[in-house]
Structure 1
Amino acid sequence: MPNDNAMPLPSSNKLSKKIGYLLGFATLVILFIYIGQNHVQGESFGWLSILPTCVVLGIAFTTHRSAEPLVIGTVAGLIMLNPGETVPGIVKVTQAVLVDPTIAWIILVCGLMGGLIALLETGGSIFNFSRVLLNKVKSKEQTMLITFCLGILIFIDDYLNALAISTSMKLLTDKYKISREKLAYLVDSTAAPVCILVPFSTWAVFFGSLLESNGIAESGQGLAIYIDAIPYMAYGWATLAVVFLVAIRKLPDLGPMKAAELRAQAGQPKPDGVDEIDLELVQDKQTSDLMGVINFLLPMIVLVIASWLYGIDLLAGVIVAITFTIALYWLQNILSITKMFDSMFKGFKVMLVPLATVIGGFMLKNVNDQLGLTQHVIDTIVPHISPAIFPAVIFLVLTAMVFATASIWGLFAVAMPIVFPVAIAIGTPMPIIIGALLSAAAAGSHSCFFSDSTVLSAQGSGCTPIQHARTQLPYTLIGIAITAIFFLIIA
């Protein structure tokens, strides 16, 4: 008699697919071992250094996963560096990334922002704020315009923009059957692209300091030089124009976004496969609409002001905002201290998945730095560019590099000492080249599926980074094309 409890055999299709994956994986391992064994220590890997990133992109867009391809790409790069030291290499890279002050800052900011948002959700503040908007907003176009306008108003930091706006607008976008992917696009398009256009943002502060350290601006004048270049930060302006046209429905849904919107119109705004990253938590207590709005807006205002007062430091700002929100809720008896801390711990936990992706991106960056990818591309291309196309090519090359590596701060710290002397030698006006560099930073960050702003926009909106990146890509390509044409004309 047949055994009903016997484990079913896998179908031939599934078995064939698994065998195909194994053969493909084995082929890649052999290829990277061969490259590693035949590489002479001390010599450049040349264009072979881009192979791990190609593996990451290929696997990511095939499997629609984000964290796993980054790990595989990191391992592939370590095999190239030294096949016999791959496992110790993984340990060293992981430790190097986790002790990096930048990563520590990102983990704390993202985790605490997740805790603050969970606290606002559990106390009903976000629900009440969204409910007030529900009563005021009467159409899909108005919903998208409000999302667009909120993104412009919260300009101080792209992390704050990505998480706060997406979380507060989900109830409204769901009502009007706007896909979570489009919400993520609206939010992400007003994050980094807006931050580069505002001199009072984390981006402006960082890049202003780079201008000073590279001798382009005197001490204390970096921000002034940055402001002069804002009119030439074409990607920011182009993206704002494109997303505005999308918000008022003058630009149609393109490519994968069209499929996402059709799914939303059929009654499913949230895509499949995102239950494990849902940020929505159960509200513990509802207040009046007025107090609900106040209880949402006050912590946001405190967060922005505190970040500004502490030198545009979002970590200091979110610590002050959490402390303020706890006191605000306690005075109103909205939540007990125990429930408030429980909700914050849940919010921190929810951020672990996107943080894993961001950390994976930094691990890949570490390996790419060891392979010399960024240095090779810049050294090979930059010195040989014609003056007439220099700004446009710099924009396109560095956009591609940020897209492939998600390295924004590190990449430009390497690129600026090479790009600026060439620009001065061929007579390219400094505001134009700074505009090209900042446009590339924003465009690459906006396009890359594992950049921090992309991951956080997807997390807050309720879709995966790959779902967000795929649906957003046609619109980012429009912005990139407009920007490249702009730099060709003004050069």
Structure 2
Amino acid sequence: MEGYKIRHWLTPLLALLMLLPGLARAGEPTLEAPALVLKGIPFEVTVTGTEPLWLVQEDNRQPVSLENGAAIIELVTEAERLALSLQDEAGTVLAEAASPAIAAWLSVVPALLAIVLALAFRQVILALFVAICCGGWLGYGLAGDKLLSSVLDSVNVHVLAAASDAEHMSVVLFCLLIGGMVGIISRNGGTVGIARHITRFVRGRRSAQTTTGLLGTAIFFDDYANALIVGNTMRNITDRLRISREKLAYLVDSTAAPVSAILLVTTWIGFQVGLIDEALGLVDGFDGSAYGVFMASISYSFYPILALLFVFMISLSGRDFGPMLKAERRAVRRQREADDELTDREAIAEEASIDAKPGIPHRALNAIVPMTVLVLTTLGGIWYTGMSELGFPAEAGLRDVFGSSDSFTAMMWGSLLSTLVALVMTRIQGLLSMDEAAHYWFEGVKSMLLPITILMMAWALSSVNETLNTSDYLVSVLSDSLQPELIPVSVFVLSAFTAFATGSSWGVMGIMMPLVVPLAWAVLQHHGLAGDPDAMHLFYASVAAVLAGAVWGDHCSPLAETTLLAAMASGCGLVEHVRTQLPYALFVGVIATLFGVVPVAYGMPWWLGIIICTLAMAAGLRLLGKRADAEEGEPEATVNIDAVKTSS
């Protein structure tokens, strides 16, 4: 018994002794610095402890003012290596921190390297791998002994970190489940059935493209769901009507983000309004709501509006130019030139295509019902998660509900239920055995593995860019001495380039909005224009420039998620999609800048800017564009719709 009593008191005593060092360390001062800093670019360090404390950087010794035992201090260095120490009044070193420092311009090298290599060699995975390794080495300060470590870190650190993100995995699961569902409805004849029904209303290539654009505009609530649903729905139809996969990918991509960015009830709106609201908290003297600012900015979102208009110009006119014209002519001729062989990605897409099982009826409902379940469940899930977040209030506006929703969870619910519905319908009708259904579900999943691998590596590169503070460097080119009229165009171009280099439109919005809103208001105040009704269009145009520029850069970048998803859903090679879409995106972006953003900043009404830009696009398309189904000197060819229906 006495032994038991001794052990009874000894156990907590030993535990207390083990905790004492940790308790003692808890009160010690700490100094945290970034893992990497850019020369000449401000960065922040965090200090905790009790005063008096001094922060020493090289020969500079400054007192630290603590609030609630902590302080965040902004510093700048030009040294090859950052060395900091935290000292007490007597000069005793209490804590130290050191980080490598690199030239600021080097932070954009990995992203630009990935883009250049992908476009030059058409090997996206290799390009991303090289860029990730390069970024990892830069993160080590280009230390020679860390070159091998940067290569090894490419997968076990950067890609693993991307795969560990819950939202990233939600997108992956969404893609895999949709791929499995498409595999089932392709084999059970559903996609052939829906193609047969849609072609009844399609009179040729132009009406098929217009139908794709209208469907992309109708599925407005989320850009990811838009790209995957429209691409998978229309791919079989456009193939039969000799419309290139590159054109389908363009139509899908250019009606995904632009629609989600400017309509009033989408999964983007809550994010955008939240950013604007946070940024307005940094502004003194502004009287207005975040949603009101967003609503006012829509009129100045030239690129998303014009991108949608250009989709229908291309579709209705039947004209194309640049690499897209070549792709369309190749699709019309149904033959490949010797120097236009199938790319690896296209060959894989062709091998992964699933034909309907011979001898079974082709019923459109077998595709329509699962896809309807996907759309309605996703919308219902967005509403439910938004209401749950708000606490199921008796009165809640759609804007608030969508802004508070969890779209990733809703998309997974929709893809899972649509897969189950497709499976149950297939088994009830006896179209496929359970083994066949399982086999073709996995075949559909397999078709998603390559694009998901690319998506994972793009996320990993985005993480590397964040470590390298790439966005901070790009944003630093903004000058505080900007003239008010130059703010919108400067923000538009900078946001576009940042989205192009990083591949993240949402990331650009999150970085730029808190900087642009106070900057625009401060410049207006400096010139005595803040609150002036005749000058407020500059403030709204600056907000719109962040959103529009992010979408523009997203359309031009092979690293962007929606670009990857649009190419994947359309069965198009990523590089081929970027090469054919890039001239169109640049065409619309330049016209939006020259005839919309700049003139409107100098006082032209926004509606007149839209009209002039539309006329400029129409004139440019008329001048540059040619019909793919009419060779020079030959009459225009027509598509035999009856033959398409018969083959379906």
Q: Which amino acid aligns with 1:281?
A: I
Where in structure 2 are the equivalents of 1:30-49 lying within 5 Å?
39-40=80-81, 41-43=99-101, 45-49=103-107
Aligned to 1:103: 168
SS at match of 2:477: helix
So what's the TM-score if we normalise by structure 2? 0.65
SS at match of 1:43: strand
Aligned to 2:118: 60
SS at match of 1:248: helix
Distance 1:245 1:150 in 2: 16
Equivalent of residue 229 in structure 2, options 138, 152, 164: 164
Aligned to 1:35: none
- The offset of 1:170, in angstroms, is 2.4
Aligned to 1:200: 265
SS at match of 1:436: helix
- Are the aligned partners of 1:49 and 1:373 in contact in 2 as well (CA < 8 Å)? yes
Task: Note the alpha carbon deviations across 1:341-376, whole angstroms, 9 max, x for none.
Answer: 333322222111111111111211222222221101
Where in structure 2 are the equivalents of 1:424-435 lying within 5 Å?
424-427=521-524, 429-435=538-544
- Are the aligned partners of 1:129 and 1:296 in contact in 2 as well (CA < 8 Å)? no
- The offset of 1:394, in angstroms, is 0.6
Distance 2:178 2:301 in 1: 29
- Are the aligned partners of 2:280 and 2:290 in contact in 1 as well (CA < 8 Å)? no
Aligned to 2:353: 280
- The offset of 1:271, in angstroms, is 6.8
Aligned to 1:135: 200
Alpha-carbon spacing, 1:110–1:212, altered in 2? closer, same or farther (3 Å) = farther
- The offset of 1:289, in angstroms, is 4.5
Distance 1:314 1:107 in 2: 11
1:370 aligns with 2:467: yes
- The offset of 1:186, in angstroms, is 1.2
Q: Which amino acid aligns with 1:487?
A: V
Distance 1:242 1:272 in 2: 28
Equivalent of residue 80 in structure 1, options 135, 138, 152: 138
Q: Which amino acid aligns with 1:472?
A: Q
1:423 aligns with 2:520: yes
- Are the aligned partners of 2:366 and 2:426 in contact in 1 as well (CA < 8 Å)? no
So what's the TM-score if we normalise by structure 1? 0.84
SS at match of 1:196: helix
- The offset of 1:483, in angstroms, is 2.3
Aligned to 2:566: 457
The structure carrying a bigger helix percent of its residues is: 1
Q: Which amino acid aligns with 1:277?
A: A
Where in structure 2 are the equivalents of 1:307-322 lying within 5 Å?
307-309=381-383, 310=385, 311=405, 312=407, 313-322=410-419
Alpha-carbon spacing, 1:490–1:329, altered in 2? closer, same or farther (3 Å) = same
Q: How many residue pairs were aligned? A: 451
Distance 1:215 1:336 in 2: 59
Aligned to 1:228: 296
- Are the aligned partners of 1:277 and 1:459 in contact in 2 as well (CA < 8 Å)? no
Equivalent of residue 421 in structure 2, options 317, 324, 345: 324
- The offset of 1:49, in angstroms, is 1.5
User: In terms of mean alpha carbon deviation, does 108-117 or 311-320 score higher?
Assistant: 311-320
- The offset of 1:137, in angstroms, is 1.6
- Are the aligned partners of 1:302 and 1:320 in contact in 2 as well (CA < 8 Å)? no
- Are the aligned partners of 1:45 and 1:372 in contact in 2 as well (CA < 8 Å)? no
Where in structure 2 are the equivalents of 1:239-388 lying within 5 Å?
239-249=307-317, 252-268=319-335, 272-273=342-343, 274-278=346-350, 280-284=353-357, 286-287=360-361, 289=363, 291-292=365-366, 294-295=368-369, 297-309=371-383, 310=385, 311=405, 312=407, 313-388=410-485
Q: Equivalent pairs: percent with the same residue?
A: 26
Gaps in structure 1 of 5+ consecutive residues:
1-37
Aligned to 2:577: 468
- The offset of 1:441, in angstroms, is 1.8
Task: Note the alpha carbon deviations across 1:293-318, whole angstroms, 9 max, x for none.
Answer: 64355334434433433434322332
Aligned to 1:94: 159
- The offset of 1:331, in angstroms, is 4.0
Distance 1:294 1:112 in 2: 17
The structure carrying a bigger strand percent of its residues is: 2
Q: Which one has the largest radius of gyration? A: 2
- The offset of 1:439, in angstroms, is 0.6
Distance 1:406 1:358 in 2: 11
